[in-house]
Amino acid sequence: MKNKIKIALCQISCKREDKKANLEKIEELTVKAQQEGADLAIFPELSLTGYVLKDQLYEEAEIITGQSVKKIEAIAKKAGIYIIFGMPELSEKTHATIYNTAVLVGPKGLIGKYRKMYLPTHSVFEEKRYFRPGYESAVFNTDIGNIGLTICYDIFFPEVFRLCRLKGAQLIVCISASPAIRRGYFETLTAARALENTAYLAYVNLVGIEEGLQFWGGSRLISPTGDVLTKAILNEDDFVICEVDYSDLRTAETFIPVLRDLRPELFSKLKEYSEQI
């Protein structure tokens, strides 16, 4: 496994209901990432289709073994790098059950997926109307490190990130479609989730305007001590290459020994009290 990797934060706007155009953009930026020495290219939440799709989700959702993932596999194989992107995933066992899914693809094909566990359904968000929540956190051991996958609103729930870390994630990726009105929360929480877990956190947000929602971008890489190592511009498409050095995890863990100091007995209390809220 590599001790240092380069990642490309591919902050894009999407063309809604036009997978062809979005796949072309993903391919173009993956090639660019490879040319600039990146091992991994990360794209935003639902980057295959755009975020605000409403009833059209039933038209756009695809099974994980469908044509779009096959196309991404071909792109990853040709470039020889890893890709993380988001898509509305149709269950293979039913006809209209859809997940908001992050997909990890490597040079040898599909590695795995994460189905968003926390679906915002308040204010402008209506994800529970369309999506079924996932039930598993996801960490994948790859040649470029142990990578945990999370999606957007998950970041308000530290347990998702803690689970990823406890499963061995060194780099936690959060793909997002966060509108500008929420920017402050995400700027705070991205740093907090990295710091409290002493893990790298790569946050890649959507840009563009969909149904009056302006996505703010501001994608970033956070160090295991909560420092913003690099960040993309606000509101516009951007492409940023940054480096993850896993040897920094040891230093961070000694300086901020949160993993050593975990108190598992509190977790059963959390369960007990959260059931009574």
225 binds other proteins (CB under 8 A): no
Choice between 96 and 262, CB closer to other proteins = 96
Is residue 243 annotated as part of the catalytic site, yes or no? Answer: no
88 binds other proteins (CB under 8 A): no
Binding segment toward other proteins, per CB under 8 A, in 14-22, 38-46, 72-80, 269-277: 14-22
Q: First and final CA of the chain: distance in angstroms?
A: 44
Residue 41: name the closest of 103, 89, 112 by CA: 103
Residue 124 CB contacts under 8 Å (≥ 6 apart), including other chains? 179, 211, 213
| Residues 162/98/153/268 CA torsion (nearest 10 deg) | -40
**Count of CA atoms in the C-beta half-sphere (13 A) of 21:** 9
The residue whose two tokens read 């989700």 is 57
Is residue 10 annotated as part of the catalytic site, yes or no? Answer: no
**Closest approach of other proteins to the CB of residue 68, in Å:** 17
Each residue 178-217 as x (binds other proteins by CB under 8 A) or -, in order, gives: --x---------------------------xxxxx-x---
16 binds other proteins (CB under 8 A): yes
Count of residues binding other proteins (CB under 8 A)? 18
**Closest approach of other proteins to the CB of residue 123, in Å:** 12
Q: Site residues for other proteins, window 31-60 (CB under 8 A)?
A: 52-56
Exactly one of 6, 15, 70, 132 binds other proteins (CB under 8 A); that residue is 15
The residue whose two tokens read 């996801």 is 138
Is residue 275 annotated as part of the catalytic site, yes or no? Answer: no
**Closest approach of other proteins to the CB of residue 229, in Å:** 25
Choice between 50 and 226, CB closer to other proteins = 50
Q: How far apart are CA 233 and CA 104, in angstroms?
A: 25
**Closest approach of other proteins to the CB of residue 20, in Å:** 10
Residue 178 CB contacts under 8 Å (≥ 6 apart), including other chains? 152, 186, 205, 206, 215, 216
**Closest approach of other proteins to the CB of residue 54, in Å:** 4
Rg (CA), the chain: 18
Handedness of CA 157, 195, 201, 149 (dihedral sign): negative
Q: How far apart are CA 96 and CA 58, in angstroms?
A: 7
From the candidates 27, 45, 62, 210, give the one annotated as an active-site residue: 45
Active site members: 45, 116, 152
Query: Which residues sit at the interface with other proteins, rule CB under 8 A?
Result: 15-18, 21, 52-56, 180, 208-212, 214, 235
